[in-house]
């Protein structure tokens, strides 16, 4: 089964929409920075790398059997300015589990944009993809990202001590998660309208076409950025 979300996804201040080659300059302005890449599993990007991604994997915007993850640009609704990007990718079809990630242009940090975009992506995951569980994996030294996961209401589930050799040293990983039932309760508490019945599998694809092993194998590296998606 496929899900082709109706883009753009809209929030109070933002649009979430597919990236295009017209975003190359904006993407380069923050994805080329050392400070942005400190805790993500890729190095600062060149324009050529960004163009290759834009014309390749980042152009995939539907959840299908062959493409179980998307990356979306985060644009200011009133200014048509790209301020970051967010990603959601399947970790296990069987367990209806996906991982979420976020990157913001530091010029636009401190306004809650990343939180707002990630919250909308979680809505998509639980409400439209019928996910059971969404996780985030964060380097223990990445304070802004830890706070973001907490603002989203995700539960801090694990502290993995020196579990990865990461950019020249051992890193600790903090694992966060939220269940679909928890998300619905949270939405009720926040007074948001949650449309639709509790989940039934939508993200699922024909058995054998994608499995947890194959997805996990491309999704190693913490900070919610699968190597194939970054």
Ligand X SMILES: CC(C)(COP(=O)(O)OP(=O)(O)OC[C@H]1O[C@@H](n2cnc3c(N)ncnc32)[C@H](O)[C@@H]1OP(=O)(O)O)[C@@H](O)C(=O)NCCC(=O)NCCS
Q: Please say which residue, 70 or 114, places its beta carbon nearer to ligand X.
A: 114
Angstrom distance (rounded) from CA 128 to CA 206: 18
Sheet of strand 82-92: strand arrangement: 9-10, 14-18, 69-76, 82-92, 97-104, 133-139, 169-179, 155-166
Are residues 115 and 151 in contact, defined by beta-carbon separation less than 8 angstroms?
yes
Residue nearest to ligand X (CB): 112
CA distance 90 to 113: 23
Min. distance of Cβ 106 from ligand X in angstroms?
Answer: 7
Q: How far is the CB of 110 from ligand X (least distance, A)?
A: 4
**Contact positions toward ligand X, by CB under 6 A?**
36, 39-40, 101-104, 109-115, 138, 142, 144-145, 147-148, 223-224
Residue whose token pair is 């998300």: 183
The least CB distance from residue 203 to ligand X, in Å, is 22
Question: Nearer Cβ to ligand X, position 191 or 197?
Answer: 191
Q: Which has the closest alpha carbon to 175: 161, 190, 188?
A: 161
Rounded to a whole number of angstroms, the minimum distance from the CB of residue 61 to ligand X is 21
Phi/psi class of residue 168: alpha, beta or left (left: φ > 0; alpha: ψ in -120 to 50)? Answer: left
CB of 94 to ligand X, least distance (A): 25
CA distance 21 to 52: 10
Closer to ligand X by Cβ: residue 13 or 201: 13
> Which lies closer to ligand X via its Cβ, residue 3 or residue 146?
146
Pairing of strands 97-104, 155-166: unpaired
**Exposed e or buried b per residue across 106-129, where buried means at least 16 C-beta atoms within 10 angstroms of its C-beta:** eebeeeebbbbbbbbbbbbbbbbb
Q: Which is nearer to ligand X, 17 or 130 (CB)?
A: 17
Q: How far is the CB of 71 from ligand X (least distance, A)?
A: 13
Of residues 82 and 199, the one with the C-beta less far from ligand X? 82
């Amino acid at each position: 089964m496929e899900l082709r979300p109706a883009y753009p996804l809209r929030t109070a201040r933002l649009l979430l929409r597919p990236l295009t080659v017209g975003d190359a300059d904006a993407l380069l302005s923050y994805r080329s920075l050392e400070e942005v890449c400190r805790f993500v599993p890729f190095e600062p990007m060149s324009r050529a790398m960004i163009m290759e991604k834009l014309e390749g994997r980042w152009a995939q915007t539907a959840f299908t059997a062959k493409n179980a993850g998307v990356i979306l640009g985060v644009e200011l609704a009133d200014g048509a300015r790209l301020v970051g990007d967010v990603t959601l990718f399947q970790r296990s079809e069987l367990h209806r589990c996906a991982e979420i990630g976020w990157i913001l242009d530091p010029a636009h940090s401190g306004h809650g944009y990343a939180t707002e975009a990630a919250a909308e992506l979680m809505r998509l995951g639980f409400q439209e993809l019928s996910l059971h569980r969404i996780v985030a994996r964060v380097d223990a030294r990445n304070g802004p990202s830890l706070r973001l996961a907490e603002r989203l209401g995700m539960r801090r589930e694990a502290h993995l001590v020196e579990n990865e050799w990461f950019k020249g040293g051992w890193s600790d990983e903090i694992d966060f998660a939220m269940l679909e039932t928890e998300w619905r309760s949270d939405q009720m508490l926040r007074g948001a309208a949650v449309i639709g019945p509790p989940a039934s599998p939508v993200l699922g694809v024909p058995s054998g076409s994608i499995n947890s092993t194959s997805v996990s194998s491309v999704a190693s590296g913490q900070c919610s950025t699968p190597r194939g998606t970054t």
